[in-house]
Amino acid sequence: MSRYRDLTAMLRLDLAEVLGSRWLLVCLALYGLLGAAFVLIGLRESSVIDFTGIGRVLFSLCHALVLLLPLVALMLTGQVVNRARDEGALELFLTHPVRRGSYFAAVSLVRYAALVVPLVVVLVGLGLVGWLAFGQQIPWAFVARSLAVSCALIWAFAALGLATSVRVRSPARATTYLVLFWVAGIALLDFGVIGLMLSWRLEPRVVFLLAAANPIETARLALLSAAEPDLATLGPVGFYLATQLGPTRLLALGIVWPLIFGCTTWFLALRVFRGQDAI
């Protein structure tokens, strides 16, 4: 095969598997139902608390997605390699002139696209509905910010899921680790690290470092940086980082750090995968 023909072939095969398993429709339905729920709740409360429109809906939806996207990314990618190895599909693929790097890159790209494309469709669709159906002004800059942060966050946890599928051969153990990774990311948000500081008497700088090292926290703060820094909204750690770094640097941190985390994890997983047995 030529240099890229094996990659193209694996892309087609894995895309067919993802479409057959309906993961693309599941992600689209999940994002869509969550968006519809926020729209209905927002419209119902608008007459009571002076709701500010579809922009507020998008703002609230994106903060819910910051907690949901890592779990979905881990579940979609965390069983890819170990399941293919158990079913014998990995051994079958590698008996053909398919490079290990091409296989791993193909499943990574397809799974990442299956997570990102429905998200783009839902967020842009909600913006268009608010603009065309309700005549509201849509904060497209915030939509673009949200997509950039969400895509970086998805990549970080998709890479973590792929690394888990490479290192852990037992599907049950892999699922346990995936859930623990997600719980740890949620637990180490602003108030979680404050609790650690109070329980273990950590230095404040260690707390800020732990917060900045958590991709979920950096993504959350990057989205919140679109508004004015507020202690009640951002929390103590987030408020400190927002006032010290500023909204532009906080946004850059929320995009760049998850990308670095994801790329580092992915390359380490690829290195381990290349040295493993196919059986």
pLDDT in tens, 155-168: 999 999 999 999 98
Confidence at residue 51, expressed as pLDDT on a 0 to 100 scale: 39
Confidence at residue 271, expressed as pLDDT on a 0 to 100 scale: 93
Q: Looking at the predicted structure, is the pLDDT value of residue 48 above 50?
A: no
Is residue 163 a part of any domain in this protein?
Answer: yes
Helix, strand, coil percentages in the chain from 3-state DSSP, rounded to 5: 85, 0, 15
Q: Which of 77, 221, 73, 213 is nearest to 149 (CA)?
A: 221
Listed range (74-83, 136-145, 191-200, 201-210) with the worst mean pLDDT: 191-200
Q: Looking at the predicted structure, is the pLDDT value of residue 201 above 70?
A: no
pTM of this structure: 0.87
Confidence at residue 177, expressed as pLDDT on a 0 to 100 scale: 93
User: Which one has a higher pLDDT value, 15 or 188?
Assistant: 15
Is residue 79 a part of any domain in this protein?
Answer: yes
Q: Looking at the predicted structure, is the pLDDT value of residue 211 above 80?
A: no
User: Which one has a higher pLDDT value, 196 or 101?
Assistant: 101
Confidence at residue 233, expressed as pLDDT on a 0 to 100 scale: 56
- The range of the structural domain enclosing residue 205 comes to 5-274
Q: Is 172 exposed, middle or buried (0-12, 13-18, 19+ CB in 10 A)?
A: exposed
Q: Predicted confidence band at 101 (pLDDT cuts at 50, 70, 90)? A: confident
Is residue 269 a part of any domain in this protein?
Answer: yes
Domain count for the chain = 1
Tell me the HSE value of 40 on the side-chain side, using a 13 A CA sphere.
6
Listed range (7-11, 38-42, 119-123, 251-255) with the worst mean pLDDT: 38-42
Is residue 70 a part of any domain in this protein?
Answer: yes
Q: How far apart are CA 249 and CA 228, in angstroms?
A: 14
- Mean pLDDT across the chain, nearest whole number? 81
Confidence at residue 6, expressed as pLDDT on a 0 to 100 scale: 84
Most confident residue range from 55-59, 134-138, 246-250, 254-258: 254-258
Confidence at residue 152, expressed as pLDDT on a 0 to 100 scale: 96
Is residue 279 a part of any domain in this protein?
Answer: no
User: Which one has a higher pLDDT value, 62 or 167?
Assistant: 167
Is residue 185 a part of any domain in this protein?
Answer: yes
Is residue 58 a part of any domain in this protein?
Answer: yes
Q: Which residues contact 94 (CB under 8 A, 6 or more apart)?
A: 100, 103, 278
Confidence at residue 56, expressed as pLDDT on a 0 to 100 scale: 72
Is residue 237 a part of any domain in this protein?
Answer: yes
